[in-house]
Amino acid sequence: MQWKGRRESQNVEDRRGRRMPRGGLAMGGGVSGIGLLVLLAYVLLGGNPGALLQGTGGGGGRFVGGKTPTAQEDELARFASVVLADTEVVWQEQFRSRGKRYQEPTMVFFTDAVESACGSADAAVGPFYCSGDEKIYLDLSFYEDLAKKLGAKGDFAQAYVIAHEVGHHLQHLLGTSGKVHREQQRLSQAQANALSVRLELQADFYAGVFAHHARKFLDPGDIEEALSAANAIGDDTLQRRGRGRVVPDSFTHGTSAQRMAWFRRGFESGKLEDGDTFDDRLFERVGR
């Protein structure tokens, strides 16, 4: 992606190197991640994803940070800020042309752990969006995991992750996620998971729409980088890597094939309206 020297978003909060008390992130409700929890939990904790999200009830407190960001991390922070600025331009224009107002989200950089309106979170949760404060939380060291552990390399793989989280912000502004979260309250776990998949695939679709409108900044191979990231973080792929088997009822983000298909559809269409993942017929047609 051609990003050097281009405008960086001002909607960035740099909280790298701060300390915070340890709590727990309430998944569900207003929080949406990119779907790395399962894999990273297995990698980092030897097999218990639940351990990441259990709050400790405010006991103790935990010291983090004290680390000065490296030059490489600072470059990543600048890159992420340019991507965020690009999403602002695209979504301002797309909303304006539909008579809607786009309220820009904030991106928070953090190290190891962070406090959000959705609770406190470990970096191991992966990047996430919290609708309670309309912020995207990103630990930049995550990109190393994306490239090294998951094999998704390249700057546009990184841009896709941000665009996906911004996609959740769109769902918040458009009322989609609020409606889905309310509906999930009265459903079984498997049914609630199936709705979560629809929401996540729509965020992938919106990331594709963003790429469509930002295509003048793309280098050859950038779309393939995004697709390789989408492929790497499909539920089936992560579960196969993590526990050696696949449990479709537990999917919350969609398979690798679905994630790639919806991103690609967004990239080809460029229109918000073509991403109704809640339309069963369309879902069947695209999601194979």
Could you tell me the smallest distance in angstroms from the CB atom of residue 233 to Zn ion? 9
Q: How many residues does the chain have?
A: 288
Question: Which lies closer to Zn ion via its Cβ, residue 10 or residue 250?
Answer: 250
240's tokens: 């196969």
Nearest CA to 36 among 146, 166, 176, 187?
Answer: 146
Q: Which is nearer to Zn ion, 23 or 33 (CB)?
A: 33
d(CA 250, CA 158): 26
User: Shortest distance, CB of residue 127 to Zn ion, whole angstroms?
Assistant: 8
* Minimum gap (Å) between residue 178 Cβ and Zn ion: 15
- What would the two tokens of residue 155 be? 């700057």
Query: 13-50: string of b/e by CB count within 10 Å (b at 16+)?
Result: eeebebebebbbbbbeebbbbbbbbbbbbbbbeeeebe
For residue 57, give every residue at least 6 positions away whose Cβ sits within 8 Å of its Cβ, in sequence order, or none: 23
Give the separation between CA 88 and CA 76, rounded to whole angstroms: 18
Cβ-contact 211, 266 below 8 angstroms? yes
- Listed in sequence order, the DSSP H helices in the chain are 37-45, 50-53, 71-96, 142-148, 155-174, 176-184, 189-213, 222-232, 235-243, 256-269, 280-286
Residue, CB closest to Zn ion: 32
**Taking the complex as a whole, how short is the minimal distance between the CB of residue 75 and Zn ion, in angstroms?**
25
- Kindly tell me which of 23 and 254 has the beta carbon lying closer to Zn ion: 254
Binding site for Zn ion (CB under 5 A): 32, 34, 200, 203
Q: Which is nearer to Zn ion, 76 or 162 (CB)?
A: 162
Q: How far is the CB of 36 from Zn ion (least distance, A)?
A: 10
CB of 32 to Zn ion, least distance (A): 4
